[in-house]
Structure 1
Amino acid sequence: MEYEDCKLLVRMGVPRDRVHKAVIVSENLYHFDLFPKIGDKYHEFNEFLCYKIAEVEVDGEMILLVYHGVSGTAASPILRELLEMGVKIVIRCGKCGSYNPCLVNNGDIYICYAAIRDDTVSLAEIDAKYPAVADYDVIDCLVDTAEQLGFTTKMGINYSTDLFYRRVCIDDPRDKYTLNNIADTEDNETSTVFVLSSLYGAKAGAVLTVDGSPLFWGNGGYAFGEESVEKGIEKTMVIGLKAASVLVKRFCHN
């Protein structure tokens, strides 16, 4: 794919030479105001459809910031363009639901190293035999960065699905995953991010803030906007940006 074929990047006015080696991808548009506080030289490009892109300098490295809306379906077009243009580090910084609401608090942070592929986008890319796993170097760096910042994190496997609310039919796989401790968190994008990045040879990882439990979405279990969640998301963004800068220095200046 040539730059001129990247319809979203061109439409949003992101020049070819501003496609940096690392990108933070998120479904959280309303947290873009955090980025100027974390880094320097913050600059926003144009918005288009459900997408917004900005850039910021963190510890001497320029990082792209991408809002892509909710779902792997929304995330995949812009992520593919970025990977085609040479992005090598992809960190998903977003929110997730917890499958252990009795043990996990809203605002807690998970570093996810793998995802169960129950979304349609990653399955459209390649069959289910292909694993949705993070890159070890990214996970290692996220863990180290969180420890250096003094932030407590958990490690876990994520379940990615196209659905937000629980199914109304019987045999919802989430019941089995919860009862058998197969997965720790749930979201809509991580498996797509892991699979696409891996297919393009890029290093990917995910750091997510718990905003409730999907087991109770339908009756008040969604903690969107709670102070604890807001603080968790701010920590998540700091971890992701700091780690991205380290990874660029480590792997992209050869």
Structure 2
Amino acid sequence: MEWLTDPFEVGFVARALWGGLLVSAICGLAGTWVVLRGMAFMSDAMAHGMLPGVAIASLLGGSLLLGAALSAVAMALGVTALSRAPRLSQDTGIGLLFVGMLSAGVIIVSHSQSFAVDLTGFLFGDVLAVRNIDLVVLAGALAVALVLTVACHRSFVALAFDRRKSMTLGLRPGLAQGLMSALLTLAIVASFHVVGTLLVFGLLIAPPAAMSLWANRIPTIMLGAAAIGGTATACGLLISWHFGTAAGATIAGFAVACFFVSVLATLVRDRFHSPITLLKGH
């Protein structure tokens, strides 16, 4: 048991665990809608599209969180504007903004003498450097995400499954889409400076996708996604501690591995379940 408990008795590892658990909960709420709505490409673009704001804030000595937020908002507004172009698909607009924002960020960061370190920190974060104030920020972001998710649940469900029906029911799909994007932005911005864009995207997509194979109810998917993300955090930190691997990348890799294990398990389940179902049908 010491092999499992000793690492978490160290202060910075314990804070990393709490930070990862909070990020997992936030990403469980936002990521469920990302998976159901098919917004994976947009979430990836927004996660990496924050680089210009972070780079400018870093060079000016300002708040990285504020820089990331402004850049993410600009990205979301750009996607919304381009999606209204009659001859331009949303995917095309997202792709163009993704490449443009990422290129601009790399160009800005390249003027810094610590280019490699800055870019690595942006992509992978430093989960082992989580501070108490970071935990407070993440707890506040989780509270806001929870309120937004509960308040907009009906509108989000209608938007995720049938936009036209959402409009018929008077649920204002345009506003719902904006609020859903705001929830996604909150999850990415609140978490990236702690764990990097790679881990945010991993926890945003893999756990909800894994859980959606086993659950039909949205609240169940959210809770299961948070649990899978929390498990990936704890196991990733243990592997990182004992084998000297990069903590953030190990957590993200474990989360993705959970998804593939879930896929294999569903294939086995369906293979053994189908004959039983057919027999019952007869």
TM above 0.5, one fold?
Answer: no
Larger radius of gyration: 2
Normalised by the length of structure 1, the TM-score is 0.31
Name the one with the larger helix percent: 2
Name the one with the larger strand percent: 1
